[in-house]
Amino acid sequence: TVEGKAIVTVEGLAPDGRLGTLQRAFIAEQAGQCGYCLSGILVTATALLRSEPHPTEARVRDALDGHLCRCGAHNRIVRAVLRAAEDAA
């Protein structure tokens, strides 16, 4: 049940209309191709970075394992998450 729980959607990642560190990293790494999978990946990556501010590449790959990128941008997505962690430090 989600009663009493906070739910964050991709729109909630930039409530003031500005792109966050993770979103800027996705642009810098050209990690978004078609956008089909990006909403879920951005929300998952945000949750990961909130719980683990400096994840390893293996941890990022593990966290994103349930997401399928049909465009083949998975390596760029992983680099973007790692870049966001570095930029936020």
What is the full per-residue pLDDT of the chain (89 aa) written as tens digits?
689 998 888 888 887 889 999 999 999 999 988 888 899 999 999 999 999 999 999 999 999 999 988 888 999 999 999 999 999 88
- Domain borders along the chain are 19-88
CATH topology of domain 19-88: DNA polymerase; domain 1 (1.10.150)
The sign of the dihedral angle between the CA atoms of 23, 71, 44, 16 is: positive
- The pair of three-digit structure tokens given for residue 53, joined into one six-digit string: 């501010």
- The pair of three-digit structure tokens given for residue 70, joined into one six-digit string: 């049909």
**Rounded CA gap, 39 and 64, in Å?**
12
pTM of the model as a whole: 0.89
